[in-house]
Each structure stands twice: as C-alpha cells, then as structure tokens.
A and B are shown apart, each in its own frame.
Chain A
C-alpha cells in the first residue's frame, strides 16, 4: 500500500499520514495521497469511510491530529492563495433561503474583492462566464429554492469557477442529481479538465464522470484501500442506496434545518 508517496514536483494536493478525529472518534487513520497537476482524482469509498472528512482535511476545514497536507506546495495552515481553489461542497451544507443564482455565484468572487467596495467589471464578467459555462446563462435572478437539485449543483460549480481556480474540489457533485444533470455536470468538468484544471472529486459512484478520472483513491474505515487506476477500483457495498438524495428532488433541504453533522459521513460533530 503506498502510504508514503514521494512528493513529485508541483503536486497540487499532497497529504502525508493524515489522522483526523471528529468528536473524539478517529475517522482517518494515516491517509496519504498525492495529486499531480492537470489530473482528476476521485476519492471514493462506502458511507462512513471518511472520504468527506478527508476532503475537508485537505482544505484545512478540520484540524489534523497528525500528518500534513500541502496545497500547491504550501502547508495548508500557511496557504493563502485560496482563489486558486474552487470548492463545491455538498449541497446539504447550504442554508440559502431566497438567495438568487446571481448572488450565490457572485459570492465565489469574494476572494478577489476588497471589503466595502462594489464589484468590479471583472467580477461581474467572471461570474457571468461561470454561469454560462454550466449552462445557466440568464438565470441570475432566479431564486435557488426554485431550482432542481441538479441545477443547484451546477450553480455551486459556477460559484467555484467564478474564482478562476486552478483546482476544483467537489464533494459528491452527483448526489441527488438526475441523470440529465449528471451528464451536464460531467460535460462541464470535461471541458474544464481539457482547459488544464485539476479536480479532486469525492464520489459515491463514478457515473458519467468515470471516463474523466485519472486515478482513484478508495477509503475503507479511514484507511486507503486502493490507490491507482480507476479500472482497479473494487466494488464497494452500499452504492445502490444514496442517502443524500431527498425524495422531493432536493428542495427540502432549503427549507428545513439541516444537521451540520450531515456532511461528515455521519461521524458526529466536528
């Protein structure tokens, strides 16, 4: 098992021996991985395997008990070039009531903006371009609550793209998304990858993203059980049920309180 990969020059993400506990419960036990630029890395595993926690650890959103994470060669604690990263969290982590599509996508530019100053022309252009990229041009005035789950997911991708990132980090972008929108998302990601973007994607199933994946890291109980080509990914149990798909097509989470634990692989509070 490759637990201590040597650092290649210019890795966009490098994790060494990452240990994370949430609420006193150990979730990750020494995870190491490295992602070269221009590649698409899938983080896979069954529910509760720790894949969401891993992606949050890679972004510095949960503290490491042991080990280290580097983004673009800088330790995550000292990393400041956040506009290089476009983060697409799980939709269930949002609390948007009547925000419009335009407002959500515009917030992706905040890393470039100064406090108290209005949006620049470039901020507006990049937000519009990002929305066009996901095929939702002209929907700026629509409220998020009126979009389908798949459309909301595309808006969140546009928000990440508005920052003009070099690395896209997506957490379960296909969860609760209908087949048509899954295809649309895959096409967007394919276009971005051909433009040279790197992507780290937490996936429950590869779905239409499969042909884009350069490599897969599979977690089982907080450890790496597979790190290599996608073709070698073993079948994992628990794929047929998807607990993240609400029966109403994804509208409920906008109006009902969502437990903040929900996006931690059900491992308890952080």
Chain B
C-alpha cells in the first residue's frame, strides 16, 4: 500500500489503531454504568486543557490529560454525592471547560482556529513524540481495562453487591472515570474532542447486539473500534476529509449494519435457549 510509504501516514494509522482499541475498551464500562455521555463531558473539559497548553506554550496532550483527569475526578465526586446536585454540577463543569478552553486559546491570539485540530482530530500532523505518548497512555488504559475486567464488571453491573463482596468500589469507580478521561484525551487527535464519545459508545452498542456475554462484547467492541478507526483514517487520506467525522460515520454505519444480524441472532437464541 502506497500510503504506508509516508511516515506521517504510518504514524496516523498506528495512532488510529491504538485509539480504536482503547476507546471502546473503557467505553464498555462507561456504557454499562449508563454514563454514555460522560465521554462528551470529559472532552469538553479536555478543551480547557488544550487552551491551557496553548496559553502556557506547553505540550497539549499531557496538559489536556492532566486537566481531563482532574475534571473526571470532580465529576465522580459530584456523582457520588448524589444525583440532584450532580446533574447541574456536571453541566457547569462541562460548559465551563469548553468556555475556558476557547477563551484561553483566544488570549494567545491563535483563536478558535488553533483549537480545531483538537476539536475535530488531525491525524496527519502527529509527531513521533506524540505517537510515543499515545502508545504509553494506551497501555495505561488497556492494562487495567482488561486485567481488572471482572472487578470493573462487578462494580458497573451491581455496585451494592460489589461492596458486599468487599471490593474497593470507590477506587474502582474513580478508576473508570480516570481511564475514560485519559482515553478521551488521547483520542482527541484521532477523532477530535467533539466526537470522541462516539468512538467510546458506538462500537460498544454495535457489539452488544451480535455477541454473547460481557467479556466477548468488550473484545468485539475493541475489534470494531480498531476496524473503523483504521478504516476511517485510510478513507480520510484518499477522500481528503476530516478523519474524525469519517471514523464516527463508519462506526455508526457498522452499528446500523448489525441491526438485522442482531435481530436474526436474537430470534435464534430465544427459540433455542428456551426456559
């Protein structure tokens, strides 16, 4: 393939592959906890991190990771304190993050234009150092997301039962949010912060119709995520469109394509499973 002869394209495809694997891995737990829009909120907070990096002329990715993780911890604290205050608190936090990011980017004189590569993704401008950071952070997310999957499953499925099992439920809840914050920020160069939540949620939704079981669903979602991310990156190279938008639309197309398959499988299971 001639597109692999370009160094920038090799980096783009590698990062697309890594984020495609990582985002649905943590997205599985986020969806199970019914926090499908959490990724969106964390993306908004990460924008403040990008703005801060532009303002202080530091590296956007590490700065945004730190800001998003701090935001994620705050979100979880609000959630644990109770829903009523949490709902409004979350909204303020999310829009505050977006506004602060745009404001800080504006102060630097770069304006919102400088933010756009983070808002919509820009795979082709990755440096080798970016790739290293993405690879390390992918490992940081995937090792606990896969290694602690029984524990995280138990907490996301039934928090009270997990507590009576003696699991460190609070810590595991924070872990999910922190890993989601890392995944969101790492994905900002691939799909962009505005669309990152789609890569966390849509492959999970697509896999749940066609595979049986939680762990199989987790692995299938990672496979679908990797496929659509790499497919979208390749497609964006040839079609010369924004990779983020194409990746998300391919993911949604896969989700829609699984419907008839899911319906057939469902009917077969119901008739063969019985009671």
Residues of A within 8 A of B (CB): 23, 56, 59-61, 80, 82-83, 85, 87, 89, 93-100, 102-104, 106-108, 110-111, 113, 115-116, 141-143, 146-148, 151, 159, 163, 169, 257, 260, 269-270
The 8 A CB mask of B131-173 against A (1 = contact, 0 = none) is 0000000000000000110110110111011111111000000
B167 contacts across to A, CB distance below 8 A = 110-111
Of the candidate stretches B66-74, B121-129, B211-219, the one touching chain A is B211-219
Let me know if B32 is at the binding interface, CB within 8 A: yes
Across the interface, name the chain B residue whose C-beta is closest to A148.
Answer: B275
How far does the alpha carbon of A112 sit from the alpha carbon of B211 in the complex, in Å? 28
With A83-B166, A159-B161 known, 15 other A-B pairs at CB within 8 A are A59-B163, A87-B165, A89-B161, A98-B208, A98-B212, A100-B213, A107-B165, A111-B167, A115-B147, A115-B151, A143-B212, A146-B273, A163-B165, A269-B82, A269-B83
How far does the alpha carbon of A99 sit from the alpha carbon of B84 in the complex, in Å? 30
- B214 engages A94 (CB within 8 Å): no
How far does the alpha carbon of A80 sit from the alpha carbon of B161 in the complex, in Å? 15
- A61 engages B164 (CB within 8 Å): yes
Q: With A93-B160, A115-B148 as known contacts, state yes or no: A82 contacts B166, CB within 8 Å.
A: yes
- B166 engages A99 (CB within 8 Å): no
Query: Which secondary structure dominates where chain B touches chain A?
Result: helix
Across the interface, name the chain B residue whose C-beta is closest to A60.
Answer: B163
A97 contacts across to B, CB distance below 8 A = 32, 208, 214
How far does the alpha carbon of A15 sit from the alpha carbon of B263 in the complex, in Å? 51
Identify 7 residue pairs between A and B in the complex whose beta-carbon atoms are under 8 Å apart, listed by A's number. Answer: A56-B160, A89-B160, A93-B158, A95-B32, A113-B150, A257-B34, A260-B83
How far does the alpha carbon of A163 sit from the alpha carbon of B148 in the complex, in Å? 19
B162 contacts across to A, CB distance below 8 A = 107, 110
Q: With A95-B34, A143-B212 as known contacts, state yes or no: A111 contacts B166, CB within 8 Å.
A: yes
Residues of B within 8 A of A (CB): 32-34, 82-84, 147-148, 150-151, 153-154, 156-158, 160-167, 208, 211-215, 217, 269-270, 273, 275
How close is A236's CB to chain B, nearest CB, in angstroms? 25
- A103 engages B213 (CB within 8 Å): yes
How far does the alpha carbon of A96 sit from the alpha carbon of B147 in the complex, in Å? 20
Partner of B214, one of A56, A99, A116, A141: A99
A151 contacts across to B, CB distance below 8 A = 275
How close is B227's CB to chain A, nearest CB, in angstroms? 20
How far does the alpha carbon of A108 sit from the alpha carbon of B213 in the complex, in Å? 16
How far does the alpha carbon of A56 sit from the alpha carbon of B270 in the complex, in Å? 35
B82 contacts across to A, CB distance below 8 A = 23, 269-270
Across the interface, name the chain A residue whose C-beta is closest to B207.
Answer: A98
Across the interface, name the chain B residue whose C-beta is closest to A119.
Answer: B150
B275 contacts across to A, CB distance below 8 A = 147-148, 151
How far does the alpha carbon of A80 sit from the alpha carbon of B153 in the complex, in Å? 21
A100 contacts across to B, CB distance below 8 A = 212-214
How far does the alpha carbon of A141 sit from the alpha carbon of B157 in the complex, in Å? 17
How close is A61's CB to chain B, nearest CB, in angstroms? 5
How close is A247's CB to chain B, nearest CB, in angstroms? 18
- A82 engages B165 (CB within 8 Å): yes
Most buried by A among B32, B148, B157: B157
Partner of B150, one of A82, A107, A269: A107
How close is A168's CB to chain B, nearest CB, in angstroms? 11
How far does the alpha carbon of A97 sit from the alpha carbon of B151 in the complex, in Å? 17
How far does the alpha carbon of A148 sit from the alpha carbon of B84 in the complex, in Å? 33
- A107 engages B148 (CB within 8 Å): no
Most buried by B among A96, A103, A108, A159: A103
How far does the alpha carbon of A113 sit from the alpha carbon of B147 in the complex, in Å? 12
How close is B31's CB to chain A, nearest CB, in angstroms? 8
Partner of B160, one of A23, A87, A142: A87
How close is A78's CB to chain B, nearest CB, in angstroms? 12
- A98 engages B163 (CB within 8 Å): no
How far does the alpha carbon of A187 sit from the alpha carbon of B156 in the complex, in Å? 31
Partner of A82, one of B147, B164, B213, B273: B164
- A110 engages B165 (CB within 8 Å): yes
- A110 engages B208 (CB within 8 Å): no
- A95 engages B150 (CB within 8 Å): no
How far does the alpha carbon of A100 sit from the alpha carbon of B211 in the complex, in Å? 11
Partner of A110, one of B151, B160, B213, B217: B151
Partner of B158, one of A94, A116, A169: A94
Across the interface, name the chain A residue whose C-beta is closest to B275.
Answer: A148
A141 contacts across to B, CB distance below 8 A = 212-213
Across the interface, name the chain A residue whose C-beta is closest to B266.
Answer: A146
B164 contacts across to A, CB distance below 8 A = 59, 61, 82, 85, 87, 169
How far does the alpha carbon of A80 sit from the alpha carbon of B163 in the complex, in Å? 11
Partner of B147, one of A93, A103, A116: A116
- A116 engages B34 (CB within 8 Å): no
How close is A38's CB to chain B, nearest CB, in angstroms? 21
- A87 engages B273 (CB within 8 Å): no
Across the interface, name the chain B residue whose C-beta is closest to A171.
Answer: B160
How far does the alpha carbon of A257 sit from the alpha carbon of B34 in the complex, in Å? 8
